[in-house]
Structure 1
Amino acid sequence: MAADGTELLAARDAYTRGDWRAAYDLFGRSQEHDLTTDDLSAYGMAAWRLGHGRRSMQLSEHAFNRLISAGETHNAAMKAVEVALQWFNGGDLTIARVWLNRARRLQDKEPDDQILAYVLYVDSLVAIDEGRNEVAAQLADELHQVTERLNLPGFNALCSTASGVSKIPFARTSEAFAQLDEAMMPVLADQVPVDWAGDIYCAVIYECHRLADLGRMKTWFEAMEQWRTGPQVSASWYGTTCEFHKMDLHSATKDYRQVEERLVNALAAMGDFPATAGKGYYELGEIRRRQGNIDGARTAFTRARELGREPQPGEALLRCHLGETAAAASDLRIGIDSEHDPINCVRLLPAAVEIALARDRIDEAEHYCAELEAAAEKFDSPGFRAWALQARGEVLVKQGRETEALPILQDALRRYRNTQCRYEMAQVYDVMAQARRACGDATGAESDTASAESIYQQLGAEPNRAASTEAPGGLTKREVEVLARIAAGASNREVAKQLFISEKTVGRHLANIYVKLGVSSRTAAAAWAHENKVLPTA
């Protein structure tokens, strides 16, 4: 049923107040031919901010066509660059490029420095994502010349963002973050239009995520949370998009069950932005992998791949944990060889070290470890340095050089503690326990093991150790304990009571045991346990 004039006025008012849901619903009650061009534009923006990307695209196209028909070249150019920004943030570079080209053609007909600045900003970010780093740097330089003429805080923020992001691929990290931090000043002062401010937040937080700079990332997330309380932002999807990167922070400190729930909710609110949702499903797979939820992790990783996000290194680590070490190494090697972005490649190296060590390929682990150390030095990243120290300690322990490894591992532990990376802290405690045990320090080893297990328990995580050839069937210590009690006739409830864990956790362990042993029933698993003399410990 068509909306009356009162509802259309209400839609406009809701949009002005930033109530995107009400605006979207009220505009939707009207026939499009009854809407003005401004109404269509507002309707499209409301759709965008609610995550309805395809609908937003249709409405924006109609608004753009009306502006072209009316000969409003300037407004049409601005609409085109706004839509280009939207599709860039939605992860669709092809559509973003189409709209950028439209904006450039119109800008050439009716030059305007402000529109040119917006075009250059989006174009530089698209070029970075396409791996055209030299072009991105050139576009950032052009933007600097334009913003000097404009001399307005909002455009200066865009210039600083583009310049900072364009320096990161060239390992000019300190300069890059100085400019990214500078870009945030006009944003904090509300001197940047809301959608462009949201993009600057996302750009800064994304680069912090890529370089594993969790301290800086936490600072800007807290600022973003405050910014999102504003009336024009509170319902915007910018927060939902960045929610996936925020899981880096939450997974460091919070119970994984809470993190998983938040991720599932964020994915449900994501709308039709497949590239962004692919990143979210990858993070969901990582959380489930760390929980020991094998089937859940596989499902999430598969969904990530379907949406265009290759699920590495998480999927390789999952396969390694299941004892499929050769396949895991092959998957990761393909990922490293095919990755053109040097930072994304660095993020694969810690897993490459871990998988090589699980295969007793110490020379290979040494090679990846050296690459990681060089990258940590090159990019001057606090996160990369901690990863490199952990990897070096693991390699030294495997080489039987435990005395050399301990101070390096303690340095890694200190760095992880500073950023509250608790899962990584537990991993380091595990390796330190091995080193102390080899050095004859049984008390110290016991203390480190207890610290690791305490952290895993608080997080709701399972130790992600590769299946040991010494463990029957490649089962973890906890899985052996569960299977032994099941084989002895205990119910899930009884096992949970004996091991001080939940029945749900027992069920998850059983599912993992079935996968590893290649069986499909409790009876078959119990029979396997009896055949392999898997007995309950005291």
Structure 2
Amino acid sequence: MDTEVDIGAARAAFAQRRWTEARAGFRQGGDLGPDDAAALAEASWWLGLMDESLRLQEELHRRHLSAGEATSAALDAVLLGFHEALRGDAVVGSAWLARARRLLADHPRARERGYLCVVEADASLGEGDLQTAATLATEAQQIAQLHDDTTLSALGRFAEGLVTVHRGDRGPGLALLDEAMLPVISGDVDDGWAGKLYCQMMDVCHDLADVRRARRWSDTTERWCREFDKAVMFSGICRIHRVQLLGAQGRWEAALAQAKRACGELTGINVAVVAEAHYLLGELHRLRDEHSAAAAAYAAALDLGRSPQPGLALLQLRTDRASVARKGLDTALYAAAGQPLRRAPLLAAGIEVALTRADVAAASTFADELEQIATTYAGPGWLAASAHWRGAVLLARDRPREALVLLDEAEHRWRDLETPHEVARARICTARALATLGDHDGATRLLDLAEETLTGLGARAALDDVARLRGRHRDVLTSRETEVLAAVATGATNREIADRLVISERTVGRHLANIYTKTDTATRTAALAWARDRGLL
């Protein structure tokens, strides 16, 4: 009687997404029927207990085989294959999917066959095989209609939308994706598969460099995750997308903290997400000019199977290894042949590397392809990047007036996306064009704006670009740093300086840190003495 009560409570907890309580109840329930055993496996999965969940799923698979339930055993195999691949064991994952295909060979219209189609469509998309992915997406939807399966229908339509987007039909593709998400948002799709779709929606927004859409879906997914007792997998994936967004917004300290947390959160659960966390750490360290930390993070990402490009190439460029950077990008571009959205960030980096090497012809070729991708996919971020780098190429070809038109467009697009680092970089490039045309006052104003933004971000790498354009190195005080030091001379506190200059107190602190570094001093008094000795105050 007590066991029956415990099982009833466990079932109720499971239905209410209280996974910890459900797992505890089912584990105390003795011999479980197939449905309860499946619920226990799922509860363990939501809690991030991947080894336990997969072991339970394998036991369920064997029970279904022994009972002659081939299609149920096949669905177990699909889930096992999918989750083994996620945690990094592609060989075992492939073996389970092969078993699922064999078990379903005599059941071509079975509902379970539709779920296999969805998983295989994802794999085909990852390999750039759009035709196979499209065929599988269509088959999944046909099977869904036959069985009136809302979850499978949403999965199939979403796969079709992904194929359509990757073929370059952005509008129709996004319409299909949005339609597929309707039953997800209304709660009519099974939770595990709903989470998969939420994550894929965030992924496609990132691929398209559609920052605004990415923010909306990240917020929606995070709210959905809060409906559960725990959602280790999906909360971890949300964290990675939040890191991307925080980085774009210039909130680098918060992004670093979240990325470091994500590196350990999904270890043994989702290797691709952990690898991406390390890569994003590398990006943040690179932008802050922390070379050793960036290199270590890129190496960790590579060790987990994630290409360190284009970040590694840009780091190598920063350390005067432009030829090495070019070779790494060429290899990555070759590997991404036929996959435009994978090539886009590599092309942007390739332009920067080529221009540094004074290889304007190569930069122009890369810019042509990036422009074609931006036009085809209409991703807001790629349109901004294309305008930026096309302008940079025109400037290198000594066509500053034409460059200004595109650089102005790039700055406006970056501002609309609220990406301060990219806005500042566009302003630096525009300042170069203005200086070339003899408008030194205009160039100085733009450099002042860029410098202020970059100092607030702690973007030491880009600050060097400003310093070079001003015709000096970083050991000479900037105009803003001189203003800060002048305010210090009046006895003002950091808070008072921030109010006076209309900047944040944190930015004041960063200016002072830069001043101490450049003047080789450690106190306000010493820095003031240094400045007075040189007639700066």
Question: Above 0.5 in TM-score?
Answer: yes
Q: 1:130 aligns with which of 122, 127, 130?
A: 127
CA contact (8 A) 1:412 1:428 kept: yes
Q: CA 1:383–1:393 in 2, change beyond 3 Å: closer, same or farther?
A: same
Distance in 1, Cα, partners of 2:304 & 2:512: 30
CA contact (8 A) 1:117 1:143 kept: yes
Residue 231 of structure 2 is matched in structure 1 by 235
Unaligned runs of 5+ in 1: 483-496, 511-521, 523-534
Residue 183 of structure 2 is matched in structure 1 by 186
Give matches, 1:352-501, under 5 Å: 352-464=350-462, 477-478=473-474, 501=509
Question: Secondary structure of the residue that 2:348 maps to in structure 1?
Answer: helix
Q: 1:165 aligns with which of 155, 162, 174?
A: 162
Q: CA deviation at 1:350?
A: 0.6
Distance in 2, Cα, partners of 1:157 & 1:255: 35
Residue 487 of structure 1 is matched in structure 2 by none
Residue 265 of structure 2 is matched in structure 1 by 269
Q: CA deviation at 1:262?
A: 0.9
1:192-236 Cα offsets, whole Å, 9 max, x none, are 11111111111221111112122222222222223223237x534
1:33-70 Cα offsets, whole Å, 9 max, x none, are 85554454334323322334344322221221122223
Distance in 1, Cα, partners of 2:319 & 2:277: 24
CA contact (8 A) 1:201 1:224 kept: yes
1:453-511 Cα offsets, whole Å, 9 max, x none, are 2222333323447889979xxx99436779xxxxxxxxxxxxxx9x954599679989x
1:83-116 Cα offsets, whole Å, 9 max, x none, are 3343455465444433333333333445654222
Residue 153 of structure 2 is matched in structure 1 by 156
Distance in 2, Cα, partners of 1:450 & 1:470: 13
CA contact (8 A) 2:263 2:275 kept: no
Q: CA deviation at 1:168?
A: 3.2
Aligned amino acid, residue 173 of structure 2: A
The alignment status of 1:251 with 2:263, answered yes or no, reads no
CA contact (8 A) 1:187 1:197 kept: yes
Q: CA 1:307–1:26 in 2, change beyond 3 Å: closer, same or farther?
A: farther
Unaligned runs of 5+ in 2: 479-493, 495-506, 521-532
The alignment status of 1:300 with 2:317, answered yes or no, reads no
Q: CA 1:370–1:112 in 2, change beyond 3 Å: closer, same or farther?
A: closer
Equivalent pairs, count:
496
Q: CA deviation at 1:310?
A: 1.1
Q: CA 1:270–1:480 in 2, change beyond 3 Å: closer, same or farther?
A: farther
Structure possessing the higher relative contact order (Cα contacts under 8 Å, 6 or more residues apart): 1
TM-score of the superposed pair, with normalisation by structure 2: 0.82
Distance in 1, Cα, partners of 2:100 & 2:58: 13
Q: CA 1:152–1:242 in 2, change beyond 3 Å: closer, same or farther?
A: same
Distance in 1, Cα, partners of 2:420 & 2:391: 18
Q: CA 1:290–1:6 in 2, change beyond 3 Å: closer, same or farther?
A: farther
Distance in 1, Cα, partners of 2:535 & 2:7: 72
1:370-424 Cα offsets, whole Å, 9 max, x none, are 1211222233322221111000111122222222111211111111111112211
Q: 2:284 aligns with which of 280, 283, 287?
A: 287
Q: CA deviation at 1:359?
A: 1.4
Aligned amino acid, residue 57 of structure 1: L
Worse-matched range after superposition: 205-214 or 219-228: 219-228
Distance in 2, Cα, partners of 1:351 & 1:163: 31
Aligned amino acid, residue 96 of structure 2: W
Q: 1:332 aligns with which of 329, 342, 345?
A: 329
The alignment status of 1:66 with 2:66, answered yes or no, reads no
CA contact (8 A) 2:221 2:238 kept: no
CA contact (8 A) 2:134 2:163 kept: yes
Residue 176 of structure 1 is matched in structure 2 by 173
1:312-340 Cα offsets, whole Å, 9 max, x none, are 00011011112221211121122112223
Residue 112 of structure 2 is matched in structure 1 by 115
Q: 2:42 aligns with which of 41, 45, 56?
A: 45
Q: CA deviation at 1:266?
A: 1.9
Aligned amino acid, residue 142 of structure 1: E
Q: CA 1:404–1:90 in 2, change beyond 3 Å: closer, same or farther?
A: same
Distance in 1, Cα, partners of 2:11 & 2:183: 28
Let me know the Cα RMSD of the aligned residues: 3.6
Distance in 1, Cα, partners of 2:156 & 2:258: 34
CA contact (8 A) 2:86 2:272 kept: no
TM-score of the superposed pair, with normalisation by structure 1: 0.82
Question: Secondary structure of the residue that 2:292 maps to in structure 1?
Answer: helix
Distance in 1, Cα, partners of 2:287 & 2:516: 13
1:500-536 Cα offsets, whole Å, 9 max, x none, are 54599679989xxxxxxxxxxx9xxxxxxxxxxxx99
CA contact (8 A) 2:144 2:150 kept: no
Question: Secondary structure of the residue that 2:316 maps to in structure 1?
Answer: helix
Distance in 1, Cα, partners of 2:476 & 2:84: 49
Worse-matched range after superposition: 259-268 or 311-320: 259-268
Q: CA deviation at 1:131?
A: 3.0
Q: CA 1:419–1:247 in 2, change beyond 3 Å: closer, same or farther?
A: same
CA contact (8 A) 2:86 2:271 kept: no
1:437-458 Cα offsets, whole Å, 9 max, x none, are 2222223222211221222233
Residue 81 of structure 1 is matched in structure 2 by 78
Aligned amino acid, residue 289 of structure 2: G
Residue 341 of structure 2 is matched in structure 1 by 343
Residue 260 of structure 1 is matched in structure 2 by 256
Question: Secondary structure of the residue that 2:104 maps to in structure 1?
Answer: helix
1:6-25 Cα offsets, whole Å, 9 max, x none, are 87776655544323345556
Worse-matched range after superposition: 58-67 or 73-82: 73-82
Distance in 1, Cα, partners of 2:77 & 2:209: 34
Q: 1:225 aligns with which of 201, 222, 226?
A: 222
CA contact (8 A) 1:321 1:467 kept: no
